[in-house]
Amino acid sequence: MSNWKNVNNWVNKNCIQWARTYFQDELVGLKGEKDGHQVEITKMVECTGDVDLNQRKGKIITIYDVALKLDWKGLAADGTEATGTITIPEVAHDTEEDEYVFQISVNDDNNEKSVLKKPIKSSLVPLLQAKFSKFSQDLIEQHKSDVYIEASELGTAAPPRTA
């Protein structure tokens, strides 16, 4: 008996669409504050790359590498409003929490608006890192049943051919 899900003991599921929804739901609305400055993620502009869930030899493996671009808005303590983007060029399965790169830009940058980079770095970045740390486990929990087959469900091997 063969199993269509487990040809050659390797199963792969493309999960990029799910990841886009996940990051939209998990990241948009995150808020941070420092020294009276307030910042918030307002939109996920872009999520590109690959997100796969695999089973190999009975083990579930996540393999992903995505780039994210997020819009933010902020209000400085003096009432100055600003907007900008946060680009994370690589959120990958083998990246440690402290290895993520966050490129922060401010639209129409000036000294009054630039002060908002500090609360982004000190309060939003740790929230983003925590979300990225959970991604792999959430991916597995959501899609495990689509790729994982218990050994007892694999059936028996086909009998050898006779000539």
pLDDT at position 128 is 97
Say which CATH number the domain at 124 has.
Answer: 3.15.10.20
Residue 7 has pLDDT above 90, yes or no: no
Which sign does the torsion angle of CA 94, 91, 106, 28 carry? Answer: negative
The residue with greater pLDDT, 148 or 60, is 60
Residue 77 domain flag: yes
- 63 lies in a domain? yes
* pLDDT of amino acid 54: 87
- pLDDT reading at 41 higher than 80: yes
How far apart CA 140 and CA 148 sit, in angstroms, is 10
Between CA 75 and CA 119 the distance in angstroms is: 10
User: What is the predicted pLDDT for the residue at 12?
Assistant: 83
Domain count along the chain: 1
pLDDT at 61: 87
Which element (helix H / strand E) includes 16? helix 16-27
Q: Please, which pLDDT band fits residue 135 given cuts at 50, 70 and 90?
A: very high
Residue 155 lies in a domain: no
Rounded to whole angstroms, the Cα distance separating 40 from 15 reads 27
Strand partners, 105: 85
Residue 162 within any structural domain of the chain: no
In the DSSP assignment, the letter for residue 108 is T
Range of the domain at 137: 4-146
pLDDT digits (tens, 9 = 90+) for 71-130: 999 999 999 999 999 999 999 999 988 899 999 999 998 999 999 999 999 999 999 999
Are 68 and 20 a contacting pair, CB within 8 Å?
Answer: no
Structural domain contains residue 152: no
Domain membership of residue 159 (yes or no) is: no
What is the DSSP code (8-state) at residue 81?
E
Spatial distance between the Cα atoms of 51 and 6, rounded to a whole number of angstroms: 19
Both tokens of 99, joined, read 């290895």
- 22 pLDDT more than 90: yes
- Residue 151 domain-assigned (yes or no): no
User: What pLDDT is stored for residue 146 in this prediction?
Assistant: 62
Query: Residue 2: its pLDDT value, please?
Result: 45
102 in a domain, yes or no? yes
DSSP state of 1: -
